Structure 1
């Protein structure tokens, strides 16, 4: 396939749905899409409505903004409020609530907070303002960690000392392991994250098939990609197989992106433990800068509170991130918590499950149930 239209071919999709229906007849199959990008495709294109009732798609912790605990947001705000600091971040972190407000609120109060499209944009600012300290809020799974690594290497090579990284990169494999250890969450298989796998490859997922006897299919992000991935999972289950399959072969290679992995290994190492929103502390699940890059480590350069902050009691983002509930089952979804007035991160991020359902799915659900749309 060469063009976008081919990935939305109605005839191909319908034929796959018929096969999924046939293979899953009389069963109840629960599949988790790990990546928030998949969640948005599923809602935007009504994929869950195309699939038979035998298939239940649940949403995992694949949104890096969503899994960041509130205490780390407070740390970021503390750095941003420091004198002579230009604090830079991706746009979807601006409105994520901490315990006393967001980065957007800090900017309104006078902090110099700017959104950027790349850490290289932040490094450019450090060159432009040598008298200021420029900090980049590094978040994301292995998808975005290589860009942070390359920027660090460039800062080191150029000797730019007024630039630092507040590192919050997380790793997908420990999160999947934590989900598989959940006693009350019975999953039959996984739609694997395509963008992360572009970096790490397919080999790290073998434990899912070997140790937990569950299939996983690495998927692309177009509607036909996801439908085909569901078909591949259902076919494996019908044949009693548990394998790692790669549907996203046009992008993902078994060994991943070797140069990206090398850049990450040169600049970062595993944290012993890291807190995830709604999932608690997970060992070896996040990255920090190596000691040789201490000069560019914002956590060492600035004073941060480093205090654990509990999520608001009304917010059920944790259950959504673990796939325990659907977004609309949260008690404040669409009422107290909306994209304009978010309580939890799942409603803020462009990859959050609550934002996806609010933007694309809530009217379909209310039309079927006769409820009044919120």
Structure 2
């Protein structure tokens, strides 16, 4: 595949693995958290952990926006969808995420709720135009990457004067979650993982730029390398992190220079700042209430805010006690540490969001069979 195969060259990958082995100090650990579901899947798909030294540990973080959405927000969406006047538009990977009672949007749809899968926010606008007598609500979700398209959508809805359209906003921001993990705040007795550096997210960074991570190098003294998704991207980024640790540096380096700049996408950031403002706090699955990590529509666009239009009450709900999604999202546990993984919890019968989403760590381990190797090794 042109422009992709160049970043999947086996010999170069093995050369990078050899360099990592040669430069790591066997007497100390190297603990790097990847903060992107795409990176998690690349690690499993290409078996990158198998070619790394045992003291280089890759930790899965909360880089999946569907996974970090708490059960209470799913419950709110289900309650909204049961209203007869409403058509709820959602992305496909949200449909099977279970709420607090094990009910998903897909099950609510089977019971009669008018819930429709869309591929983009523009699809939701088309549905609103086709159904002028119904209230159409778009279930907006994602990190900074998908926030900009939602902002443009809101501006377009205003221009079209669609009075039957609103947004249930669940957009969240990456840096506050990274800060929360490093501080260990609101985790209480659920455990905290030690991190030496971050493999910075790719798509998010094309929007916010590398500048957004400088606080983690300057204040938290953590190494950060923004990485692309291909195996050579990942291997080079890990080598760059290893060298930072060895040289006792804590900087923000940009491996993904073909797509990411220091300032990011200025137009996208302006669209976001024009339409959205920060919430005081927002709940993340596994992290709890994270200050200034979520977005809501500004007062100028409040008419399109579904939470205000339908007087939606905030719902807090506990996850399935046997499900370890929260700990997996914090990097405290791996998918194979969950007693439900591969037994009661599979892609066909997901018990938690990490198995549902295409970006989830459990889905990655299941899809590429990495868990089989870990279980065999643990059993021996």
Residue of structure 2 in register with 1:144 after alignment = 146
2:173 is the counterpart of 1:165: no
Which residue number corresponds to residue 335 of structure 2?
A: 327
2:106 is equivalent to residue 104 of structure 1: yes
Alpha-carbon shift at residue 304 of structure 1 (Å): 2.8
Could you tell me whether the CA contact under 8 Å between 2:324 and 2:338 is conserved in 1?
Answer: yes
Alignment pair present for 1:188 and 2:196: yes
Query: What are the within-5 Å matches in structure 2 for residues 281-360 of structure 1?
Result: 281-360=289-368
Number of aligned residue pairs: 371
Deviation at 1:370, TM superposition (A): 5.3
Q: Give a deviation string over 1:109-162, Cα, whole Å, max 9, x none.
A: 011111111111101111111111111100000010001000000001111111
| Structure 2 counterparts to residues 148-297 of structure 1, below 5 A | 148-182=150-184, 184-297=192-305
Which residue is equivalent to 1:52? 53
Return the alpha-carbon distance in structure 2 between the equivalents of residues 128 and 2 of structure 1.
40
Provide, for residues 163-187 of structure 1, a one-character-per-residue CA deviation record: whole Å limited to 9, x for no partner: 1100000000010001111284211
Moved over 3 A (4+): 366-371
**What CA distance in whole angstroms lies between the structure 2 residues aligned with 1:263 and 1:238?**
40
Matched, 1:62 2:98: no
Contact 1:80–1:113 under 8 Å retained in 2: yes
Partner of 2:118: 116
C-alpha distance in 2, partners of 1:184/1:133? 43
Question: How far is 1:31 from its partner?
Answer: 0.6
Q: How much has 1:366 moved relative to structure 2?
A: 3.6
Displacement, 1:365? 2.5
Q: Quote the Cα distance in structure 2 between the aligned partners of 1:336 and 1:97.
A: 14
Instruction: State the Cα deviation string for residues 219-244 of structure 1 (Å, max 9, x = none).
Output: 11111111110011011111111110
- TM-score of the two chains, using structure 2 as the length reference: 0.95
Residue in structure 1 matched with residue 187 of structure 2 by the alignment: none
Q: Does the CA-based 8 Å contact 1:79-1:303 persist in structure 2?
A: no
1:194 positional shift: 0.5
- Give the aligned partner of residue 4 of structure 2: 4
In structure 2, what is the Cα distance between the partners aligned to 1:341 and 1:38?
24
Aligned mates of 1:75, 1:304 — CA distance in 2: 7
CA distance in 2, matches of 1:24, 1:342: 38
The 5-angstrom pairing of residues 9-48 of structure 1 reads: 9-26=9-26, 27-48=28-49
| Superposition TM-score, scaled by structure 1 size | 0.96
* Worse-matched range after superposition: 287-296 or 302-311: 302-311
Give SS of 1:164's match. Answer: strand
Shift of residue 2, structure 1, vs aligned partner: 5.9
RMSD of aligned residue pairs (Cα, Å):
1.4
**How big is each residue's C-alpha offset from its partner over 1:244-268, in whole Å with a ceiling of 9 and x where there is no partner?**
0011111111101111111111110
CA shift, 1:338, in A, is 1.5
Partners of 1:156 and 1:216 lie apart in 2 by 39
Structure 1 segments unaligned to the other structure (5+ residues): none
